[in-house]
Amino acid sequence: MTLIPDLPGETPYAASVVEQGDLVLWLTRRDADATKRLAVLAPAGAPPAPVFSGEAGEIAGRTLLLCPADAGNAAALRDLLPWLRAQTLGLRTSAGFGDRLGLATPGHARAVRANPGIAPIYAQQSIRENVRTSRTAQQVMDAATWGVFEAGWRDGFGADGDHLKTPADADVMVAAGYTFFTIDPGEHVDDGAHTATYRELIDKVDALPWGDLDSSPADLRARLLGRTFDAGGMTLTFEDETLARAAAKYGRAVAHAVRMFRHLDAVSGDRAWEMELSVDETETPTSHLEHLYIVSELRRLGVRWVSLAPRYVGRFEKGVDYIGVLDALRADLAGHAAIARAFGPYKLSLHSGSDKFSIYPLAVEATNGMVHLKTAGTSMLTAQQAIAMTDPALFRQLYALAFERFAIDRASYHISADPARAPQIDELADADLPAVVDQFDARQMLHVTFGSAIMQYGPAMQAALRAHEETHYAALERHFDRHLAPFARHTT
């Protein structure tokens, strides 16, 4: 074990200590105000390389640099330590962890370490989330860098630019070093095709952007109509109406995905990267034939992808367990997984996947571990629960704000929360507040008002969590152990 000098008034994070060449580096926390700094120990008179920015001094005959945990030093650290750079994860069982406050990665890493075999995505944020939290893609990446360094995680991680809708969105994520790009063509999905008449479907198909699809209605029919496809014993056949419905519903989405893929391929150069396609945020489920249409067209057009998120049956609402008939979902997952194996292989992705404890065994069973679990808001909810444990006055303010902002902030979400059913906490004792975060309606209200909470109380929330860091990390570990354990059992 590498020995580091004792720094008065500082507490080191032992897991972060690393020797690299003639340097020793670690993260330290100032006891007076919980400020974290990078410590770099170098031979006497030798400037640490790469160039770190900080306060220089001497200790035990060596040069000591104490550096702020800022963007410049995060970049220098990534240059020096390759395991701090995001990488691709391929077909391994994986999980994504959104971190809207920038403080959760060490807690996430504890849970992943306790559940071996799961490849983590520690930097994950959508453009929508960044707008609502006033953060940049680079700030999200830098927060993950410092969290991975603090935790001593050296087994690799991915970085997901989530729900990208335009080439400009993708450019931002590429520039910040992301490696996993989730394309969201939901605005190009025609939900009206789900119930359209056959004549209406033909009109919709004729109007598709056939130039972008490098095809025509006649070519599509010649390729797919009447063909029977085998997906691991499940047979799928396109008939006139099912083919027209699939193309009308998803043809424009396919064209958009192709444009995004080609743009990413051009701007990424020789860097390794991978793509996920997400059609989960739509009104109607993705049938197995529609899934087959999407991937057959993507493959024909030269698109490469590592995972796909269909819109499954039932409801995947934010922050709560699955709402629907489990046997119906079991059958739906089995069909989608069979297609993913036969026409890939690629992973199925579970979006809005947090807190869906009833379905994790079904997903593992159907996919045989070829699955990606995507979570985001549940980490913020866990932070709010930790605040309820340690700073009840602040939690009461956050909860009041959730009532105030819910009607506005819920607009972009499909949720069932009703403020009339949420607990009224004025008369509750402080000790009862953490349980409020687990109540269905309160949980969804807190979930969808995250942006308002961060705008109004972000610094106070961060200060409370830094002051009670171990409570926060332990809560994250407990919560995500429940998420990851079903997937880890499959990989061991």
Residues β-bridged to residue 65: 40, 56
Stated as kind and residue range, the H or E segment containing 120 is strand 119-126
CA distance 57 to 41: 10
User: What does each C-alpha distance from 148 to 49, 94, 119, 286, 468 come to in angstroms?
Assistant: 20, 17, 13, 36, 19
Residues β-bridged to residue 124: 160
In the structure encoding, which two tokens stand for residue 26, read together? 């670690």
Q: Where are the beta strands (DSSP E) in 184-332?
A: 228-231, 234-237, 274-278, 307-309
Q: Where are the beta strands (DSSP E) in 303-448?
A: 307-309, 347-350, 371-375
Among 99, 190, 276, 280, the one annotated catalytic: 276
Residue with tokens 């939901």: 186
Phi, psi of 215 (to 5 degrees): -160, -170
CA distance 168 to 179: 16
CB-based contacts of 130: which residues, under 8 Å, 6+ apart? 136, 137, 140
The verdict on whether 276 is a catalytic residue reads yes
Pairing relationship of beta strands 18-20 and 10-12 according to DSSP bridges: unpaired
The verdict on whether 281 is a catalytic residue reads no
CB-based contacts of 104: which residues, under 8 Å, 6+ apart? 97, 147, 379, 382, 383, 472, 476
In the structure encoding, which two tokens stand for residue 235, read together? 């047979």
Residue with tokens 């394309």: 183
- 258-288 burial, b at 16+ Cβ within 10 Å, e below that, comes to bbbbebbeeeeeeeebbbbbbbbbbeebbbb
CA distance 282 to 194: 11
Cis peptide bond upstream of 50, omega within 30: yes
Rg of the chain over Cα atoms, rounded to whole angstroms, equals 24
219: how many CB neighbours lie within 10 A of its CB?
13
Among 99, 129, 142, 162, the one annotated catalytic: 162
Helices (H), 370-420: 377-390, 392-409
Question: Which residue, among 482, 464, 467, 477, has the nearest Cα to 388 in the 3D structure?
Answer: 464
CB-based contacts of 67: which residues, under 8 Å, 6+ apart? 37, 38, 39, 40, 52, 53, 54, 55, 73
Active site members: 162, 276
